[in-house]
Structure 1
Amino acid sequence: MGTLLSYSLYSSILLSMLYLTYKWVMAGENQHRYNRVALWLIYIVALTALPAAEWARGFMADAPASVPMAEIDFEDIMVSVADQGELVAPAQPLWITVLLWVYLAGVAATLFQTVWVGLRLWRIISRGEEAGRYGGKIVVVTDDGGIAPFSWCRYVVMSRKDWEEDGSMILVHELQHLRLRHWIDLLMAQAVGVFQWYNPAAWLMREELKAVHEYQADGAVLESGVGARQYQMLLIKKAVGHRFTSLANSLNHSKLKKRITMMYNTDTAPSRRLRGLALLPALAVAVGVANLDVVASVIDDTALASFVADNGDDATVAESAGVQPVDEIMLPPSEKSADATDVEPVRVAGGDVAASVSSDGTSCEPAAKPVEESAGGGDVTEVPPHEVSETAEVVAAPGDGVSASASSAEGKVAERRESSRHTYGSQPYTVVESKPQFPGGEKALLQYIASHIRYPQDAYMDGIEGRVVVSFVVKKDGSIGDVKSIRKINPSLDAEAERVIKTLPTFTPGMLNGEAVDVWYTLPVSFKIKKDEIKKDDSIKEEKTTAMTRSLEKVTLYQGNESRTVPYERIKNINPNVIDSISVTKNDGRPEVNVYLKSV
């Protein structure tokens, strides 16, 4: 439901800006058909802009490239803070929970009112008497004299008195509503009203549609030969009576003065239709407003909202995310203990890095050497303590899309044997009362990185793998600063990891003694190339292996003016959609394969 609220907020911003522009430059023009189309376009753009943007991003991500898309597999995402030795799990703010409940209550109430009006309409129609049929449209008369004439779907409804006194004029008016299917417009407007019940522009848009409907129906009556004065007297006489503003077109629409004035207006010059182009810059402004940091932060927060604010402990939060909690501590690289004798190792998720931390909470001199074998096997390497907060793995596999998941491996959960304290100094803090929080929590951080990171093309072609550890500071205003790779493996991989970190939106800053402070944050990112697992019977595989395949060791890849030679096994990992052509030649009895890739 949080996604629905987030989508509603985004579309309401666009709808409001576009409506205001329409009202300013187009509402008073005598170009009713054109205005009706413009109002429909406003609805379509406002409601589809966000899905279209997401689709476009996905399409661009899925567009042919030199390498497959990356599959992101995140492990053990946890960042600890010193709060009596316990990990503080991020909780959903109470205001988001309240906002979600209020929004859904409004949707339910508005939907109930809409259904109630629809039932009343059907009750009146079903109890009325059929007085005739005109081109498939049914005229229904009722003995209730307090009902103003209206039309809906394929029915024209009026009181028996109106049918006998002014039936011909009323019928021309209402049949025009049905011919132009105005009731479909009202269904759309009411649906948006339910969806955006809090947005005045949603209801004002419905009124603009109804006004255009009445202008069109009034014009049809005058074109039929009815005198303008006679028809205007009818409208004045029918200015009272029950109206069904939600779903039906009523003859006694409230904007009577504007309707009479419009009858005397001349048609708008075709050149004035260019005023509708003002909607384009209005759309650009609306999108810009929706993407302002403060606005986007609220929209992102509501997207992950749930019905209940989760204030559970870290074990509950971690279990719901599918991960095991990791109790760790972050220290800046510049803080070193003068005495490195009283230290205890900290095991880190993955079993391949560790930080030595003295019992007083300060870091000792980092040494790039193996210490002891981890529970999961392999060497454990000492690194600066601020390198051990989170772990992300980027895996490239042929034809895969982008996905994010959280998992933990048995025997590789970090342990802290003794609570640590921070030695205060001029550097950004490493232990705080309240840690920095990504908008929406760790799950949202996973989703953000998964949607933005890509396995670099040249690194993939060269088969380069490894872990990049990126360190950065979450500043007191929530912005990201001091982004740098503190463990580098390849310029392209280093740059990609840093690029994604630099695009992170504003965090909720860390707090210490009631004040926002700068806090160190790190994110190790592992880049791996996933090998295909093809399980076949060895004997069958041997029979199908030709001498040419056995002798083929390398292939040459060409893209634009660049070329590179890669092992033959790598050709299986290339997305077929990016291949332009393949040529095979013989050189001294050995095959040479050239693969030409499409330009990006």
Structure 2
Amino acid sequence: MIFYLFKSTLCLALLFAVYHLYLEKENMPRFNRGYLLFSLLFSLIIPLLPVGIVDQILSLGASESSGAQNLQAVELSGDEETVAVSGTESGLISTSMMIKAGVSMYVFVTLLLLIRLTCKVESILHKVRRHARFYYKDSTVVLLKEQTAPFSFLGYIFLNEREYNSGKISREVLIHENAHIRQRHSWDILLIEILKSLFWFNPLYRYFKRSLQLNHEFLADRAVLQKTDRVKSYQKMLLKTLVGQQPAHLASSFNYSQIKKRMLMMNRQTSFQRSVLKMSSALPLLLSAAMLFGTDISALQNYGKVIGIEISDSENILLNNEEIHISKLSEQLTEFEDLPNRTIALRVHKNAYFGIVLDVQGVMREHRLFRFRYISIDEESPKYEEMVKSKIGALTDGIATVIEEYMSLSLTEQREEAERYYANIVHEHKLLEEKLETIRASHHFEVSSPPALPPSPEQRAGNE
């Protein structure tokens, strides 16, 4: 999720920089409007597409950073607690509470902003229900009692009743606001307001909204000039209307600011060849952004391919449920295909040796394993009890299987192999007893006892 937001923000910043430096001053407002809207959606989708090289750059930077002492959790699992592996002597510090607090704060702020947006929309629509109105072409004109600048929202044009009745509202104002309605500018603003509420921590959306509103004014001004073709008189009327007025937050307002840019745009002409050149240059830009900020294909192919590592209270660890010594971990990991793009499910038991945890961290850094889930299950939950019993059952079954194989060996023909089997059985039996002793001392639930040790080779030979 962190990588997604990071790449989405970088993509949004690049697209807006190109617009501000390369497209904003050109008199082609229809294309610019489409570019701005497409950029908003493109930046949200592109990090999910199966192309891109930023993943590799970020992973390389993380592996070469001398200050990176801890591995960073970049993937979360819904039913698991994700924590950071700390390099301090205090051991493993759970950050699940911090994650929950952060998520709670995000949800609270987002809901608050969405509620505020809903209230603003309702406030405008409430004006429609409370005031007189009549139809004008594609829209409904609402006459307000309070002093206000002309503005439009959805299918409504809002005017001051006294100014309208006294003839102070010119025909150009109505054409201007009706253009906003016909071109559905309110939906653009609502879209970006929703995105602002969802991504309130990203200031770029404010700049996009400002540019989009200004572009709406260029389009509405063009619609007026196509009807009247009197640039100078329209500009004078526009300046007169703007004095002392303030625009509405969500609405498309006749008096929207940056009047200097609007007047310059009315007098600016962009040739057909220049427009085609500017528009065609957007395609390689989008392709470049896709290659930069998409998801690495190899990472996408291996998404969900998890390698399980479990650290208990001995120097042996479980690698995909197979017990190996910590010294063999690096060698065993090299057998996995496309290792750096896999996810490590790391489970550390309460009584694990901290040195072993640090060794595992070192191996993960060595192999550039930066996608991992650190799993911490509440020891009081039924899920934890189920996990412990399942593991003890698997170990018990494993010992029982080895005992059966050992008892099937002939002492006259396979004495040395039988002795190796028995030594292994004794070692595993001892480890299992120690685990059971720890579990019984710290937990209230019961676990099954290990199978009884079989007779030694000497005892078997005596019995025979």
Q: Do both share a fold (TM > 0.5)?
A: yes
Q: Is 1:112 aligned with 2:2?
A: no
Q: Is contact 2:247-2:253 (8 Å) kept? A: yes
- Describe the SS at the equivalent of 2:247: coil
Alignment match of 2:199 (pick from 178, 196, 202)? 196
Corresponding residue to 2:253 among 242, 250, 253: 250
Deviation sequence 1:481-527 (CA, Å, 0-9, x none):
4xxxxxxxxxxxxxxxxxxxx6x33789xxxxxxxxxxxxxxxxxxx
1:159 and 2:195 matched: no
Residue in 2 that maps onto 1:24: 21
Matched residue of 1:131: which SS? strand
Q: How far apart in 1 are the matches of 2:8 and 2:290?
A: 9
- Alpha-carbon distance in structure 2 between the residues aligned to 1:44 and 1:352: 45
Q: Provide the rounded CA distance (Å) in 2 between the counterparts of 1:242 and 1:386.
A: 71
Give 1:274's aligned residue: 277
Of 20, 31, 45, 1:34 maps to 31
- Alpha-carbon distance change, 53 to 150 in structure 1, aligned in 2, over 3 angstroms: farther
Instruction: Describe the superposition over 1:358-406 as per-residue Cα deviations: whole angstroms up to 9, x where unpaired.
Output: xxxxxxxxxxxxxxxxxxxxxxxxx6553479999x9xxxxxxxx9998
Structure 1 residues 273 and 431, CA, compared in 2 at 3 Å: closer, same or farther?
A: same
Q: Please name the residue that 1:450 is paired with.
A: none
Q: Secondary structure of 2:142's match?
A: strand
Give the Å deviation of 1:33: 0.9
CA shift for structure 1 position 94:
7.3
Greater strand content: 1
Q: Which amino acid aligns with 1:473?
A: V
Distance 1:347 1:13, change over 3 A: closer
Closer, same or farther: CA 120–226 of 1 in aligned 2, 3 Å: farther
Q: Paired residue for 2:366?
A: 480
How big is the shift at 1:269? 3.2
Indicate which of 233, 245, 249 corresponds to 1:241: 245
Q: Which has the higher helix share?
A: 2
Q: Residue 138 of structure 1 aligns with which residue?
A: 140
2:159 aligns to what SS in structure 1? strand
Structure 2 match to 1:51: 48
Report the alpha carbon displacement of residue 349 of structure 1 after superposing the two structures with TM: 8.5
Letter in 2 for 1:196: F
Q: Deviations over 1:171-191 (max 9, x none)?
A: 100111111111111111112
**Counterpart pick for 1:211 among 199, 211, 214:** 214
Rounded Cα–Cα distance in structure 1 between residues aligned with 2:272 and 2:208:
24
CA spacing shift, 1:90–1:282, aligned 2, 3 Å: farther
Counterpart AA for 2:247: R
Q: Is the 8 A contact 1:329 1:386 kept in 2?
A: no
Distance of 2:252 and 2:130 partners within structure 1: 19
Counterparts of 1:446-457 in structure 2, within 5 Å, are none
Q: Would you say the 8 A contact 1:141–1:160 is kept in 2?
A: yes
> Per-residue displacement from partner, 1:302-324 (whole Å, max 9, x unpaired)?
xxxxxxxxxxxxxxxxxxxxx99
Deviation at 1:415, TM superposition (A): 13
- The equivalent of 2:370 in structure 1 is 505
- Unpaired segments ≥5 residues, structure 1: 55-79, 297-322, 331-345, 354-382, 395-402, 409-413, 421-429, 438-471, 482-501, 509-600
Aligned position for 1:370:
none
Pick aligned residue for 2:355 from 427, 431, 435: 431
* Runs of at least 5 residues in structure 2 that lack an aligned partner in the other structure: 52-84, 300-307, 336-341, 374-464
Equivalent residues of 1:130, 1:138 under 8 A apart: yes
Equivalent residues of 1:151, 1:248 under 8 A apart: yes
Query: Counterparts of 1:138 and 1:329 in 2: how far apart (Å)?
Result: 77
Letter in 2 for 1:271: R
TM-score when normalising by structure 2: 0.57
Tell me the SS of whatever aligns to 1:244: coil
Q: Is the 8 A contact 2:344 2:371 kept in 1?
A: no
Judge conservation of contact 1:193–1:203 (CA < 8 Å) in 2. Answer: yes
AA of the residue aligned to 1:505? F
Residue 9 of structure 2 is aligned with which of 8, 12, 24?
A: 12
Aligned-partner Cα distance in 2 for 1:218–1:347: 71
Q: Aligned letter for 1:176?
A: A
> Tell me, what secondary structure is at the counterpart of 2:50?
helix
Matched, 1:178 2:181: yes
8 Å CA contact 1:173, 1:221 repeated in 2 = yes
Matches of 2:360 and 2:322, distance apart in 1: 26
- Aligned pair count reads 322
Q: Which of 273, 277, 284 matches 2:288?
A: 284
**Deviation for aligned residue 1:121:** 1.0
1:133 CA displacement? 3.5
* Contact 2:49/2:294, CA 8 A, preserved across alignment: no
Identify the residue that residue 405 of structure 2 maps to in structure 1. none
In 1: Cα distance, 2:325 partner to 2:188 partner: 63
Contact preservation (8 Å) 2:49, 2:295: no
Q: After the TM superposition, which of the residue ranges 161-170 and 207-216 deviates more from structure 2?
A: 161-170
Cα distance in 2 for partners of 1:48, 1:350 equals: 34
Write the distance in 2 (CA, Å) between the matches of 1:288 and 1:150.
41
In 1, the alpha carbon distance for the partners of 2:309 and 2:325 equals: 23
Contact 2:172 2:234 in 1 (8 A): yes
The reply to whether residue 229 of structure 1 matches residue 232 of structure 2 is: yes
**Counterpart in the other structure of 2:312:** 327
Q: Which deviations, in whole Å up to 9, do the C-alpha atoms of 1:63-117 show, x marking residues without a partner?
A: xxxxxxxxxxxxxxxxx99999x9x556237775665455444423432332232
Question: Identity of counterpart residues, as a percentage?
Answer: 22
**Matched residues in 1 for 2:86 and 2:201: separation?**
39
Q: How far apart are the structure 1 equivalents of 2:156 and 2:265?
A: 27
Q: What residue identity is the alignment partner of 2:366? A: I
**Pairwise CA distance, 1:18:** 0.8
1:254 is paired with a residue whose SS is coil
Displacement of 1:211 after TM fit? 1.1
1:306 maps to what in 2?
A: none
Structure-2 residue corresponding to 1:76: none
Matches within 5 A, 1:338-487: 353=323, 384-387=325-328, 431=355, 434=358, 473-474=363-364, 479-481=365-367
CA contact (8 A) 1:173 1:218 kept: yes
- Kept in 2, the 8 Å contact 1:12–1:196? The answer is no
The CA deviation at 1:160 is 1.4
Contact kept? 1:329, 1:385, Cα under 8 Å: no
How far 1:151 sits from its partner (Å)?
1.0
- State yes or no: 1:149 paired with 2:150: yes
